Amino acid sequence: MLKFLAIRDFVIVSSLELDFSSGFTALTGETGAGKSILIDALSLALGERGDAAMVRNGCERAEIAAEFDIAALPHLRAWLLEQELEGDEGVCLLRRVLDAGGRSRGFINGRSATLQQMRDAGEMLLDIHGQHAHQSLLRPDAQRMLLDGYAGVVADAEKVATLYRDWQTLRRRRISLSENAGAVAAERELLRFQRDELEGLGFNAVEWQEMQADYARLAHAASLLETAAFGIETLSEADTACLAQLNALMARLRDGLAHDASLGEALRMLESAQAELQEAVYALRHYQQRLDTDPQRLREQEQRIQNVMDAARKHRVAPELLEESLQRIVARLAELGGDADLAALEQQEKSAQQSYLAAAQKLTVARKKAADKLAREITGAMQTLAMEGGSFAVALLPLAQNDDLGGNACGLETIEFQVAANPGVQPRSLAKVASGGELSRISLAIQVAATQVASVPTLIFDEVDSGIGGRVAEIVGHLLKKLGKNYQVLCVTHLPQVAAAADQQWQVSKAAENGVTLSRIAVLDGEQRVEEIARMLGGVKITDTTRKHAAEMLGAAA
């Protein structure tokens, strides 16, 4: 439950700190005093979007901090642990800072948090029912979600939606494959031919490099042999061969050593050169022996290279990329599949449809059961809200079904709230028959019935009692008081009958200080409550009779 709220420089609030209690708390005050500011501040702390206009005029930033007791909320504690946002044991602290430039930051238990994380936490902490909630109740999707929440089948509805999407994905693939069967078959045939051709070529990039080098040797074999022979002759076989002349020079240097030892360095260098030249002769002779001059092999290599070049031109790629072309062809063939794949796809689609229908039918059964119960509860509440003899129904209208389609992502039916405001009248769509006043009362009855299964500990009602008064207002007060026995209930109200039923009452007021209008909230004691309810009853002039009436209302409610 909500334990503490601190507001600073928010709209017309300078600084405000509030401690909250369990039970039913009423917020009252003059029109325009800022009763809904508390709700707006809480909404901001729970992740709603804000803007710079929310920062009090002349201030740098607005700040809202809300502390909740979460000892009885194990699912929230588990979520905080999962998100690494845990704080003190049994406590959740939400804080939001909004600067004058419109930028905001959110914190959960002192750690930076996204707005989505704050909204996720807020959904587990409290529900806010706005004074215009009845407008959203006219939408079919809102009616469906309310029924699913009441029935406790929100997770089942999400599963149905997922199964429907899976089924439709398979259905679209099957239809596309069937409608383009001819074109697919032709493409598949061409791809198979191209795959077989490239696989028959047996090409790979490494072989291509070796092939080109081998062909270059074969094509120039005669010239290369002539070059090797010329080198051997020049070095060792000609009359003036390099090695012969070098050996003669080395012999004379050895003779000269007897007369001058300094010739030894030159001799050593020549001996090294002589060894290198001799190795070069051996290498050239070995090259001569292994050089292939086979014309048949040359023709084979020429043909092999030509085949690769032809394939590369056909596929419009460089020869080095032929392997990638083959991989793309094989992948596309796998994507297109074969005739057997269409049959398998049809079977997958049928299986997905059956899974969807089974889950959707189960959801329908749960919805029907909950719809009857919800309708009885709301009909009962209508009898106490000046709609005696009226009735409420939750209709499940089946969607058209055939062999191909049945239902949609929301299930096998649409949900329609129907109402008969008078006895003996056939219920019709809520959007068509309810007047503004009736819609407000029916909305309150629906919200009270729905909150009986609320999973959050705190419920806030923002002037949902607008448009009613007298005996009906008194009944509304009793309904909210009843809710307060199981939940923490806060209600912004302008009706004295509702305020008198509250376990505690806060008064919202505004006043000018140094030319600046500020809003304040005061917790009222017994005498102050009498005075405030008397003001709500009597208007500008409060008499002793009005005060007595106010005291009687408080006594009766107690």
**The pLDDT value given to residue 539:** 66
107 strand-pairing partners: 95, 112
CA dihedral 310, 311, 314, 316 (to 10 degrees): -110
The residue type found at 23 is: G
pLDDT band at 217 (very low <50, low <70, confident <90, very high): low
Which one has a higher pLDDT value, 34 or 393? Answer: 393
pLDDT band at 102 (very low <50, low <70, confident <90, very high): confident
Rounded distance between C-alpha atoms, residue 444 and residue 134, angstroms: 8
The secondary structure of 484-545, three-state, reads CCCCEEEEECCCHHHHHCCCEEEEEEEEEECCEEEEEEEECCHHHHHHHHHHHHHCCCCCHH
pLDDT band at 105 (very low <50, low <70, confident <90, very high): very high
**The pLDDT value given to residue 448:** 75
**The pLDDT value given to residue 403:** 47
Range 228-262 burial, b when 16+ CB lie within 10 A, else e = beebbeebbeeeebbbeebeeeeeebeeeeeeeee
Rounded distance between C-alpha atoms, residue 24 and residue 474, angstroms: 14
3-state secondary structure of 41: helix
Neighbours of 36 (CB within 10 A): 17
| Locus of tokens 């503004």 | 436
Domains of the chain, with CATH numbers? Answer: 1-125+456-558 (3.40.50.300), 186-336 (no CATH)
CA dihedral 368, 369, 372, 377 (to 10 degrees): -140
**The pLDDT value given to residue 79:** 93
pLDDT tens profile 40-91: 899 999 988 888 889 998 899 999 999 999 998 888 999 999 999 998 999 9
62 strand-pairing partners: 98
Rounded distance between C-alpha atoms, residue 132 and residue 129, angstroms: 8
Cβ contact 363:157 at 8 Å: yes
pLDDT tens profile 463-501: 766 667 778 888 888 888 888 888 899 988 888 999 999
Which one has a higher pLDDT value, 185 or 77? Answer: 77
Q: Quick check: 25 pLDDT over 90?
A: yes
408 strand-pairing partners: 411
Mean pLDDT for the stretch of residues 330-352: 79
**The pLDDT value given to residue 374:** 93
Sheet containing strand 516-523, strands side by side: 126-129, 458-462, 488-492, 24-29, 504-513, 516-523
3-state secondary structure of 82: helix
